[in-house]
A and B are shown apart, each in its own frame.
Chain A
Amino acid sequence: MASTPGVGTAGRLSSPPRAISSPRVARGDRLFALVVKSAVWFVVALAVGLVAALAWESSGAMRAFGARFLVTTTWDPVAGEFGALPFIYGTLVSSALAMLIAVPLSLGAAIYLAEIAPFWIRPPIAFLIEMLAAVPSVVYGLWGIFVLIPWLRDWVQPFLGARLGFLPLFQGPSYGVGMMAAGLILAIMVIPYITSVSREVLLAVPNTQREAALGLGATRWEATRVAVLRYGRSGLIGAVLLGLGRALGETMAVTMVIGNRPEVAASLFAPGYTMASVIANEFTEATSDLYVSALVEIGLILLLVTVVVNALARLLVWSVGGPARGARH
């Protein structure tokens, strides 16, 4: 790790051997520093440019609708009337449903992999889960269309409708496509992600924590609960937030199963729409400038929401393992 004494300190030597640096050498160093720095400034420019470009492109819709854009439900390209509420609602509900399913399962699996499983079984399962986090979302969408949706339509939704139909959540005809399918596919997609980040957080908890608890006579579960989970709590919350960020912005799989209808409906059986999927679906068909501008504004809202969620998540994950951990997620 970066915190090991002696590692990574050479770059910060306050005085490189000045005695032998000729002007020629110094010029080489300055040039190299310039090249390296410009790469870093490019990254900063990307971030600033991203926000600026989206804000610029969406200025038309902002002027036309103002804050009303966020709370109206009309989405009528023909009349030029745009309101983003159905998409915001769809994104929030599908992500909430996904997190409801994914969080307990992922945390349980991470605890199993980091604390309980026999040692020989840990690497293969961790490997499998990391591989599955790399499956492209269009593949999950394909599976959703041809496996998940028929299963929901023919089995799950009729069953739920008959047993729990008195709840508004489970009313209406079962199409298969809809909010429930979107939530399920999102859950399946973020589970490997949350599991592998929280597993890394748990592995970063020092062993002395566990040993101290076990030494006081705690059972393995008590040691996990008192000494490990409490110690890594902020990191675990960060892992969950990272998963949430993924779910909020997930596009293809959701577009393929949610039904793409801009309505706010109480039932999970009903088709819906999300911010990401309306952009994916309608961007190339958008004919008027206002239409494009409204779609870009939805993109801007999505960007700002995910930036806040991710920034929070990073700070929390860093607080347990240091900035170097989880770099590849």
Chain B
Amino acid sequence: MTVGIRRQIDRAMGALSLLCAVLVVLPLLLVFGFLLYQGASAINVDFFLHLPKPVGEPGGGVANAIVGSLILIALAVCLGVPVGVLGGVYLAESRDRRMPGVVRFIADVLNGVPSIVFGIFAYTLIVLPMRRFSALAGGFALGVIMVPIVLRTTEEMVRLVPSALREAGLGLGLPEWKVTLRIVLPAARAGILTGIMVSVARIAGETAPLLFTALGNRFWHQRLDQPIAALPLQIYAYAIAPFDDWHRQAWAGALVLIGLVFLASLAARLATRGRTVAR
């Protein structure tokens, strides 16, 4: 092939890849633009402060669903963070030859398991024995989804802590557990927080695992062993209902949910900005 033809192929492939990039970004911008346009027109103060109205009455809000989502996230954090962080410390610091590799692999595979499967898991483990749908079951399902994400980011971040820090601690005669808790974990704090926020962003929008665990609720929940409302569930219920007013509520809910998710993602990014620990 002559140099001229090769140059032209080069230019053509460059243009083709640019076209791909444009085609990738375009539908995503369309989704986003439409969401902003529809959501912004439907959102108001009532939306944040009131309960859903009965069918046919316009107005009302999703206050219970917003609070419910926050409670479910808090329950999930109670399970996902301790297990994930401690497990991540083990993966990074263990001297065992085989165990870390096995657990790492299990965590990565769990990370790819469809979230609805975790819903079934929580259903058989908690809903069936308790004989009712509950916030606890929903929080458990979300917590299980969090574990592998927190585990792997914690491991990655603990590994990045310079070994000189550990050696300094051990050299001063500190026991290993104190070195880990007081020196290594604080040094990796920003990165670990990032991992936690990334996982929160992921579970905040999960709908499928809540369908038959938290179930949803059009009123305020009374106790944690009862069904609870969640923002994604409410959006789903409104979206597939045949009422125009509910559709508007669904768009507003989606906008709030996206805001929540992006806030968590943004917090994750800011936590590590300018730190050497984050790569």
Contacts and interface: CB of A to CB of B under 8 A. Distances in A.
A and B associate in one complex: yes
Given A25-B175, A256-B239, A306-B112, A139 B87 contact: no
Contacts of B45: none
Interface stretch (B47-55, B60-68, B100-108, B218-226): B100-108
Interface string A119-144: 00000010011011011111111110
Nearest to A143: B31
A280 B10 contact: no
A299 interface: yes
A116 B173 CA distance: 53
A168 to B, nearest CB: 27
A143 B21 CA distance: 21
A13 B119 CA distance: 42
Interface string B78-115: 00001110110111111100010111111111111111
Contact of A16 (B121, B155, B176): B176
Consensus secondary structure, chain A interface? helix
Interface string A131-160: 110111111111101110000000000000
A66 interface: no
B90 A39 contact: yes
Contacts of B130: none
Interface residue tally of chain B, by bracket?
A: 35 or more
A67 interface: no
10 contacts: A25-B175, A28-B175, A44-B102, A105-B23, A139-B205, A191-B24, A283-B120, A283-B123, A307-B112, A327-B152
Interface of A: 2, 6-14, 16-17, 20-21, 25-26, 28-29, 31-33, 35-37, 39-40, 42-44, 46-47, 49-50, 53-54, 56-57, 104-109, 111-113, 115-117, 125, 128-129, 131-132, 134-143, 145-147, 188, 191-192, 195, 219-222, 224, 242, 245-246, 248-252, 256, 276, 279-280, 283-284, 296, 299, 302-303, 306-307, 309-311, 313-314, 323-324, 327-329
